[in-house]
């Protein structure tokens, strides 16, 4: 019988439900159990693909081309899973399915209602994920905060699952903020008590409560939380601030949470093994070297916009025994005040992330030019790749005004342009080139030395491509396209052999990067930053 864990959050959003859910999964995996995860996002969008990263954080792309919530990235990183579109459930998706059924006549004669039709669809989709996997435990995280109007049908759905799946197969975990007051330094459990009451009001009694607090909760707070939450004290845990999020499973496991859940589900005493994870966390916490990398972006004000990229840079750092300090630089600032370019001198590497639309692109192009001319290690991802081609076309191939038609539709040199198959596309949702596609790597290139294979699969999310009409001149001037799509119509990686490390990819390596197993392009970039800093004259991945 599959077991279900439901994670809800209270008091405010961003209390770390995603990290908590991932951490529960890690503790169970460490005991030999198979897990999978469902993220519920109660917004009405069908998927995250059409949402502005500046408001909602990055869009995480799965192998099958799902444009999902960034929490799926945390699940994949912590649990080394490859999730699918179905692992992210939204209000839009559920209603679309129910309304389609209604139009087909499936409910003929009946009034279609939130209970039971919407809640049935929700339960059906959670169970479908369980059936489609070998999981012993399915974790379901309900996004938002208990009490949100949008979340109600989902909470009602998971409430019903206890009745249908049985007490012994379901477990409710509630996490809420326990603040410490600035002035008196007192720990306050009252907001958490209110959120537990809110949960009970709709019929869910939590089995476990996790206090999200800056520091470990004191005995008094634990007693209060247990008393008002109607749970034993050993079902109260605390997720306090730690130097790296990857440490959260360790601190919760030390408090006995993994054993508690296994006991509750009747899993025989499973032996746990968190040694490998502990090793990774140790290196992350106490690395030998320090590096400074500039991330020049358009959504630099919100770290969550680039979360997978930042994590991949950190994974690359840990694998090189280095802590990577990332500075977010607003690309527009470089445009408005070219003197700001001076600040780039302080960095060991320059990183240009994904992006859309014209804002900030000239600033990013200037930063790429700076990296190329000053031989600073450079990594560009997706838009970063396209802008590197533009920079090279303008300044090395002397194609003045070269641009992407996304930025300037009437550019004299459309170096980056739409492929014919993207031209007629008007609908915005799920119409980009998405998900994992095969890439063929040229032998004797930096790409080959990084990846070690002739064939790789990496995830994509873009509409525009290098315009094949310009390939000859770009190649002639020294730009090497070392990776291409299987039909060779799409350029996938570029490198400049004349530079120490100048590499970019149309795909997004960060989505497959894991702690302890960094993505090769990120690993290579960090290794190059470190090599340059330590005075090496030739990069490890050069010829």
Which one from 458, 508, 529, 539 is the annotated catalytic residue? 508
Q: Which residue has tokens 């991330």?
A: 295
Rounded to an integer, what distance in angstroms lies between the CA atom of residue 284 and that of residue 303? 19
**364 or 527: whose CB is closer to ligand GLN?**
364
Q: Within positions 199 to 218, which residues make up the interface with ligand GLN, using CB under 6 A? A: none
CB of 482 to ligand GLN, least distance (A): 19
Mapping DSSP to helix (H, G, I), strand (E, B) and coil, where does residue 281 land? Answer: helix
- Candidates 85, 247, 323, 462: give the one binding ligand GLN (CB under 6 A): 462
Closer to ligand GLN at the Cβ: 359 or 463?
463
Write down the least CB distance from residue 67 to ligand GLN, Å: 11
464 lies in the binding site for ligand GLN (CB under 6 A): yes
H helices, E strands: number in the chain: 19, 21
**480 strand-pairing partners:** 495
Which residue's CB is nearer to ligand GLN, number 86 or number 406? 406
| Contact with ligand GLN (CB under 6 A) among 4, 74, 356, 511 | 356
CB of 381 to ligand GLN, least distance (A): 7
Q: Is 461 in the site for ligand GLN (CB under 6 A)?
A: yes
d(Cα 17, Cα 410) in Å, to the nearest integer?
Answer: 46
Six-digit token pair at 400? 């003045």
Rounded alpha-carbon distances, angstroms, from residue 529 to 290, 349, 351, 448, 535: 10, 6, 11, 19, 10
Among 75, 260, 347, 354, binds ligand GLN (CB under 6 A): 354
Under the criterion CB under 6 A, does residue 463 sit at the interface with ligand GLN? yes
Of 99-107, 158-166, 195-203, 459-467, the segment contacting ligand GLN by CB under 6 A is 459-467
Q: Which x/- pattern over 97-136 shows residues binding ligand GLN (rule: CB under 6 A)?
A: ----------------------------------------
| DSSP per-residue string spanning 238-262 | EEE--SSGGGHHHHHHHTTHHHHHH
Between 6 and 503, CB nearer to ligand GLN: 503
Range 219-258, binding ligand GLN (CB under 6 A): none
Least distance to ligand GLN, CB of residue 97, Å: 28
C-alpha torsion sign, points 390, 394, 397, 400: positive
Among the listed ranges 229-237, 264-272, 394-402, 460-468, the one in contact with ligand GLN (CB under 6 A) is 460-468
HSE, CB side, 13 Å, CA atoms: give it for residue 422.
17
Q: Quote the CA–CA distance of 474 and 413 in Å, as a whole number.
A: 12
Contact window for ligand GLN (CB under 6 A) among 138-146, 189-197, 321-329, 457-465: 457-465
Q: 438 pairs with which residues across the strands?
A: 457
Would you put residue 206 in left (φ > 0), alpha (ψ -120 to 50) or beta? beta
- Which region, judged by CB under 6 A, interacts with ligand GLN, from 77-85, 126-134, 350-358, 439-447? 350-358
Judge whether 56 counts as a catalytic residue.
no
Long-range contacts of 400-408 (CB under 8 A, 24+ apart): 404/361, 404/464, 405/464, 406/356, 406/357, 406/358, 406/463, 406/464, 407/357, 407/358, 407/361, 408/358
Cβ closer to ligand GLN: 11 or 381? 381
Among 9, 355, 380, 518, binds ligand GLN (CB under 6 A): 355
Q: Please state, in angstroms and rounded to a whole number, the distance separating the CA atoms of residues 176 and 318.
A: 31
- Minimum CB separation from ligand GLN for residue 404, in Å? 7
Name residue 40's beta-bridge partners: 89, 142
d(CA 27, CA 34): 11
Catalytic residue among 238, 382, 397, 529: 382
CB of 44 to ligand GLN, least distance (A): 24
Name, in order, each residue with C-beta under 8 angstroms of 151's C-beta and a sequence gap of 6 or more. 40, 42, 142, 143, 144, 145
DSSP-derived 3-state class of residue 494: strand
d(CA 215, CA 178): 9
Minimum CB separation of residue 508 from ligand GLN in Å reads 7
Choose, from 238, 510, 521, 539, the residue flagged as catalytic: 510
- Which residue, 355 or 531, is less far from ligand GLN as judged by CB? 355
The residue written with tokens 């970019």 in the block is: 504
Does 31 engage in binding with ligand GLN (CB under 6 A)? no
Concerning whether 382 is annotated as a catalytic residue, the answer is: yes
Identify which of residues 333 and 359 has a Cβ nearer to ligand GLN in the complex.
359
Decide the pairing of beta strands 502-505 and 414-418.
unpaired
- 82's CB contacts (< 8 A; 6+ apart) are 62, 63, 76
Which residue number, 37 or 416, has a Cβ lying nearer to ligand GLN?
416
| Out of 274, 382, 393, 529, the residue judged to bind ligand GLN by CB under 6 A | 382
Taking the complex as a whole, the smallest distance from the CB of residue 387 to ligand GLN amounts, in Å, to: 9
Q: Report in angstroms how near the CB of residue 382 gets to ligand GLN at its nearest.
A: 3
Shortest Å distance, C-beta 355 to ligand GLN: 5
What letter does residue 517 receive in the DSSP assignment? B
Region at 119 (left for phi over 0; alpha for psi -120 to 50; beta for the rest): alpha
Which residue stretch of 172-180, 182-190, 291-299, 461-469 sits at the interface with ligand GLN (rule: CB under 6 A)? 461-469
Cα separation, 404 vs 391, in Å, equals 11
Instruction: Report the C-alpha gap between 106 and 301 in whole angstroms.
Output: 47
Q: Is 406 in the site for ligand GLN (CB under 6 A)?
A: yes
Instruction: Output 229 or 355, the one with its CB closest to ligand GLN.
Output: 355
User: What residues are labeled active site?
Assistant: 382, 508, 510
Binding site for ligand GLN (CB under 6 A): 354-356, 382-383, 386, 406, 461-464
């Amino acid at each position: 019988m599959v077991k279900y864990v439901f994670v809800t959050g209270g008091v405010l959003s961003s209390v770390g439900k995603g990290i908590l859910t991932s951490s529960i999964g890690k503790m169970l995996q460490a005991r030999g159990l198979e897990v999978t995860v469902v993220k519920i996002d109660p917004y009405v969008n069908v998927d995250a693909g059409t949402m502005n990263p500046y408001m909602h954080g990055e869009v995480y792309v799965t192998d099958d081309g799902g444009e999902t919530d960034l929490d799926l990235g945390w699940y994949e990183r912590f649990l080394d899973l490859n999730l699918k579109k179905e692992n992210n459930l939204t209000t839009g998706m559920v209603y679309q399915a129910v309304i389609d059924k209604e139009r087909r006549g499936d409910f003929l004669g009946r009034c279609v209602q939130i209970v039971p039709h919407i809640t049935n669809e929700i339960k059906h989709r959670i169970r479908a994920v369980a059936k489609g996997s070998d999981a012993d435990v399915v974790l379901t995280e309900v996004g938002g905060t208990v009490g949100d109007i949008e979340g109600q049908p989902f909470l009602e759905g998971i409430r019903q699952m206890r009745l249908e799946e049985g007490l012994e197969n379901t477990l409710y975990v509630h996490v809420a903020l326990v603040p410490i007051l600035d002035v008196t330094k007192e720990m306050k459990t009252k907001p958490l008590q209110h959120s537990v009451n809110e949960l009970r009001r709709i019929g869910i009694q939590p089995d476990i409560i996790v206090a999200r607090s800056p520091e470990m909760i004191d005995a008094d707070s634990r007693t209060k939380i247990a008393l008002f939450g109607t749970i034993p004290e050993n079902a109260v845990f605390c997720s306090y601030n730690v130097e790296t999020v990857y440490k959260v499973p360790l601190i919760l496991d030390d408090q006995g949470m993994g054993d508690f859940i296994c006991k509750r589900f009747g899993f025989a005493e499973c032996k746990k093994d968190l040694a490998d994870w502990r090793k990774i966390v140790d290196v992350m916490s106490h690395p030998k070297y320090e590096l400074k990398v500039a991330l020049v972006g358009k959504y630099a004000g919100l770290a969550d916009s680039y979360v997978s990229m930042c994590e991949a840079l950190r994974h690359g750092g840990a694998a090189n025994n280095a802590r990577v300090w990332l500075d977010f630089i607003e690309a527009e600032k470089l445009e408005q005040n070219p003197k700001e370019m001076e600040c780039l001198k302080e960095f060991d590497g320059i990183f240009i992330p994904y992006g859309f639309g014209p804002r900030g692109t000239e600033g990013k192009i200037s930063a790429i030019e700076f990296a190329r001319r000053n031989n600073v290690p450079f990594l560009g991802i997706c838009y970063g790749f396209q802008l590197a081609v533009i920079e090279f076309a303008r300044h090395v191939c002397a194609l003045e005004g070269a641009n992407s038609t996304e930025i300037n539709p009437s550019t004299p040199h459309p170096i980056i342009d739409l492929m014919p198959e993207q031209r007629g596309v008007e609908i915005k949702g799920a119409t980009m080139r998405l998900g994992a596609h095969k890439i063929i790597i040229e032998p004797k290139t930096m790409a080959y030395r990084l990846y070690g294979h002739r064939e790789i699969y990496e995830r994509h999310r873009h509409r525009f491509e290098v315009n094949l009409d310009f390939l000859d001149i770009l190649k002639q001037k020294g730009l090497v396209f070392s990776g291409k799509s299987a039909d060779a119509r799409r350029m996938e990686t570029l490198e400049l052999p004349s530079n120490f490390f100048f590499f970019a990819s149309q795909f997004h390596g960060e989505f497959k990067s894991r702690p302890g197993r960094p993505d090769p392009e990120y690993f290579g970039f960090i290794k190059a930053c470190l090599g340059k800093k330590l005075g090496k004259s030739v990069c490890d991945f050069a010829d």
